[in-house]
Amino acid sequence: MANPAIVTVDDDPAVSRAVARDVRRRYGQDYRVVRASSGAEALDALKEIKLRGEQVAVLLADYRMPQMNGIQFLEAAMDLFPYARRVLLTAYADTEAAIDAINLVDVDHYLLKPWHPPEEKLYPVLDSLLEAWQATPASPEAETRVVGHRWSAESFEIRDFLARNMVPYRWYLLEEPEGQRLLAASGASESDVPVVITPDGKTLVRPSEAEVAAHVGLTTTPASEFYDLAVVGAGPGGLGAAVYGASEGLRTILVERRATGGQAGQSSRIENYLGFPDGVSGAQLTDRARRQAQRFGTELLTAQDVTCLDVKGSARVLTCAGGPRIVAHTVILATGVSYRTLDVPGLAELTGRGVFYGSAATEAPSCSGSDVYIVGGANSAGQAAVYFSRYAARVHLVVRGESLAQSMSAYLIEQIGNIPRIQVHTCTEVAAGHGTDHLEGLTLRDRNTGQARDVDASWLFVFIGAEPHTSWLDGLVERDSQGFVVTGPDLVVGGRRPKGWRLDRDPYHLETSVSGVFAAGDVRANSVKRVASAVGEGAMAVTLVHRYLEAQ
């Protein structure tokens, strides 16, 4: 962080230089002195300082300036830096103006010109003001800042993207004073939100995730022309493959369309993963795996959606929606799965505005004191229920089945039973959602009796089923009827190898119908949908990659 600023404003060049010189002589080591020759110039400087997330400690403004006098400037400056201490420079004849300043803009002090000697007339005043400012400073803002509406799907997507990629950020509601100040400093309007302000002060208006990634330190373009191994998807399977591939000397690139961790990264608590007896959050596990992969030399691309796979001789070519092409000897598909949408009236248009797919942990504090509804009966839904019970007044777990025992681990069922705030509604389904700009209510239906009832609800989190991201492989890689990638022995039917297979051997265990292309984790047909098994398959796939490369 840069030193806090002391801003001086005076249209008289000689006076302006004298003020800045005297201030810099005493405070230049700890504060940055910014000098302006007009109120408009000073406001532009303040906006830049605001966008960079820096602080202003003291404002010194001359009263008699054309176009914008000192009182008008200080009044405008308060909108940007309300905590900065304000000083008006006046002549002997301007005592009445100084009194107006105290009444209008809560000026902390007024100084008569000339102030010489500064040791007697200037420094004691500034010492006192700086001491008071340091006691109640504006909060430092070194991180990315996001300004938006509470019930905005676009704002939620940006916040969720930053949170899941471990990018520090601060969220400002448009309705709050600081949100308005940032919006004014950026020059954007309320219709432009979400507005993202990067740590270096750049303003992004309604940006795409790729734009955000490129401005907050995430890599979005490949650094090399060729790799030994390209891993598509940075969930547990992809991260496991990247760690083992890079650690064993393969030039490895890991491509993720949104954020590392996949569904596991959204889990509030994983308690049955080997080596973590007290449990670990999906975000923590993901962060450790990502750092481990990068320490071994894995190149990580974020916000790049792979849309095409081509075979060019011995090369496997991946094309991303944003344009980059990645060429590698081998590919591991670890794209995982996503939660299926809840296809009932009224919910589609409220997605991101009270209706969320996955845990959306960023929303948990906003649920404080409210009722939260969670749909699903598997572990991910149970983990979310336990997590949200820390914030919500009551958590309603809506389950289609007759009991949780059909699909949820015993340890989670026991935890849920011991939390009074969690209420389980079995044999129940969501029949409709209601609301205008955000979710306001749900219709719940008893599956046995068909009886429906309406409940007030602003928060709905859905954890149902799984759909693989494999449509981009259509026509090249063999998949089953649900879209999961078929691998290994399952490709050999009646002693016949898959169509187009040119090698004089059967596909390896995790190899797809395209030689040199492997699948690991949830995306693979008949895989065990667990974090540990996905990591194991990622590691196993790298062993098969070595075998494939050695045979070339």
Whether residue 506 sits in one domain with residue 543: yes
The CATH number that applies at residue 419 is 3.50.50.60
Cα three-residue angle 436-153-146, rounded to 5 degrees: 130
Whether residue 537 sits in one domain with residue 454: no
10 Å Cβ neighbour count for 95? 12
Tokens of 197: 């302000």
Confidence band for 440, pLDDT divided at 50, 70 and 90 = very high
Cα three-residue angle 425-379-270, rounded to 5 degrees: 135
Lowest-pLDDT range, 259-273, 283-297, 429-443? 259-273
CA dihedral 259, 260, 264, 267 (to 10 degrees): -60
Segment 17-31, tens digit of pLDDT: 999 999 999 999 999
**Domain annotation covers residue 496:** yes
Whether residue 21 sits in one domain with residue 78: yes
Q: How far is CA 305 from CA 108, 234, 320, 336, 500, in A?
A: 54, 12, 5, 13, 26
**Domain annotation covers residue 517:** yes
Beta strand extents in 154-298 (DSSP E only):
169-173, 195-197, 203-205, 227-232, 252-256
Distance (Å, whole) CA 487 – CA 523: 10
Whether residue 490 sits in one domain with residue 510: yes
Tokens of 196: 């993202």
* pLDDT for position 100: 64
**Domain annotation covers residue 222:** no
Distance (Å, whole) CA 456 – CA 434: 9
Q: How far is CA 60 from CA 5, 13, 39, 92, 469, in A?
A: 11, 15, 11, 17, 59
Last residue of a domain, one of 187, 215, 243: 215
**Domain annotation covers residue 38:** yes
Last residue of a domain, one of 446, 462, 478: 462
**Mean pLDDT for the stretch of residues 380-398:** 92
Number of domains in the chain: 4
The CATH number that applies at residue 176 is 3.40.30.10
10 Å CB burial of residue 29 (0-12, 13-18, 19+) is: exposed
Lowest-pLDDT range, 43-57, 136-150, 284-298, 463-477? 136-150
Residue type present at position 204? L
Q: Tell me the HSE value of 98 on the side-chain side, using a 13 A CA sphere.
A: 17
Distance (Å, whole) CA 311 – CA 309: 7
Whether residue 435 sits in one domain with residue 474: no
Range of the structural domain that residue 393 is part of: 348-462
Whether residue 476 sits in one domain with residue 333: yes
The CATH number that applies at residue 27 is 3.40.50.2300
**Domain annotation covers residue 275:** yes
CA dihedral 15, 16, 19, 20 (to 10 degrees): -150
Taking phi over 0 as left and psi of -120 to 50 as alpha, with beta for the rest, 516 belongs to: left
Q: Is 390 helix (H, G, I), strand (E, B) or coil?
A: coil
**Mean pLDDT for the stretch of residues 419-425:** 96
* pLDDT for position 105: 60
In this structure, what are the phi and psi dihedrals at residue 519, rounded to the nearest 5 degrees? -130, 145
**Mean pLDDT for the stretch of residues 194-203:** 90
Segment 132-164, tens digit of pLDDT: 888 765 544 557 999 999 888 899 899 989 988
Cα 22 to the chain's mean position, in Å?
45
3-state secondary structure 77-98: HHHHCCCCEEEEEECHHHHHHH
**Domain annotation covers residue 343:** no
Distance (Å, whole) CA 551 – CA 504: 11
Whether residue 10 sits in one domain with residue 128: yes
Whether residue 129 sits in one domain with residue 17: yes
- Number of residues that make up the chain: 552
| 397 bridge partner residues | 374, 424
Whether residue 333 sits in one domain with residue 309: yes
Segment 333-360, tens digit of pLDDT: 999 998 888 999 999 999 999 999 876 6
With 90 as the cut, is the pLDDT of residue 446 above it?
Answer: yes
Q: 422-450 in b/e burial notation, b at 16+ Cβ within 10 A?
A: bebebebbbbebbbeebbeebbbbeeeee
Last residue of a domain, one of 135, 161, 184: 135
**Domain annotation covers residue 155:** yes
With 90 as the cut, is the pLDDT of residue 547 above it?
Answer: yes
With 90 as the cut, is the pLDDT of residue 279 above it?
Answer: no
Confidence band for 98, pLDDT divided at 50, 70 and 90 = low
Lowest-pLDDT range, 68-72, 108-112, 157-161, 519-523? 108-112
Whether residue 181 sits in one domain with residue 158: yes
Confidence band for 263, pLDDT divided at 50, 70 and 90 = confident
**Domain annotation covers residue 221:** no
10 Å CB burial of residue 190 (0-12, 13-18, 19+) is: middle
Distance (Å, whole) CA 255 – CA 261: 12
Whether residue 471 sits in one domain with residue 458: no
Residue type present at position 460? L
Whether residue 309 sits in one domain with residue 245: yes
